Structure 1
């Protein structure tokens, strides 16, 4: 698409008004056009089916601060990570589903505030102790929206640090119940990978 910014934004507003549809935007958009279009759509309170953000392309940190307060408009958010060690994105709101590749910047504190139904964290810094905190919170009624969780991390392993009183290798195939008995979670572990599916009882 070889249109200028004004034309792209004009067409975007027209499509949004006429069709009242959800948009899907990928990181393949030219960055000079992509960023103002995304900002405009959020300002219009436009809902997104999918939104992919490449933090290496997103040059304007103020734009991140602006759109991260409106991720509640997004159904499925995918974030590829920044290689700038000085940039630690903060999510001020949550989409329905989130996937973060190379999520070493995503802290346990952020996770504990997450309200997503599906969470996928690639190459996280989470270890056994972090996973223990997450599962104990889930058991006591935390993460009420959570349906699926997947985390990959080189720090999750048999190292003497217990998760719900068990070693890492003992979690494979486990089914755990929430304390109120309303939900069960089925756990699968692979090499550096943790998966959990939640179903109501």
Structure 2
């Protein structure tokens, strides 16, 4: 009911427990996530509960994000996206960074993805080995933004800086 009143929320934390009505509750709020500054989803214990995003909060933090698909990420308009435990791999990173370079993710300021599938296995990301991306600064095709790429064990961090 609070969402129906168009109230804005600083932080909304959702901890799915596998209850049968979770999809119903999620469907009732998913189109109102633009009213949320910081959405946190703390793992999805129920494989039958896979949230569908119809709007994006300012920040999204998902712990246990193996259900968060590349399609969801490519459609996300959040400024900050943190995904812990995703299934994204180097090929997905290539798609994500190419979209950003082409002008996609216009609101993005910070992206952090942690996945066991992000490895230095020779799969190219932006035509480079993963380790060659460390500390690299990439630029959008229109020259309006740059992003610094950093890597950690099983993770990638992208910090965006717009030109003033």
Q: C-alpha distance in 1, partners of 2:33/2:18?
A: 18
Give unmatched runs, 5+ long, in structure 1: 1-39
1:4-41 per-position Cα deviation (integer Å, ceiling 9, x unaligned): xxxxxxxxxxxxxxxxxxxxxxxxxxxxxxxxxxxx11
Counterpart of 1:32? none
Asked if 1:192 is matched to 2:154, the reply is yes
Asked if 1:56 is matched to 2:22, the reply is no
TM-score (norm 1): 0.78
Give unmatched runs, 5+ long, in structure 2: none
- 2:84–2:114: 8 Å Cα contact kept in structure 1? yes
1:92-128 per-position Cα deviation (integer Å, ceiling 9, x unaligned): 1110110000100000001000000000000100000
Q: C-alpha distance in 2, partners of 1:89/1:57?
A: 12
Which is further off, 144-153 or 83-92?
Answer: 83-92
Q: C-alpha distance in 2, partners of 1:79/1:90?
A: 13
Which of 1 and 2 has greater Rg? Answer: 1
TM-score (norm 2): 0.95
- 1:173 is matched with which residue: 99, 118, 135? 135
**Residue correspondences, number:** 162
Q: C-alpha distance in 2, partners of 1:135/1:172?
A: 14
RMSD after superposition: 1.1
Query: Structure 1: which 4+ aligned runs deviate by more than 4 Å?
Result: none
Counterpart of 1:145? 107
Report SS of the residue matched to 1:93.
Answer: coil
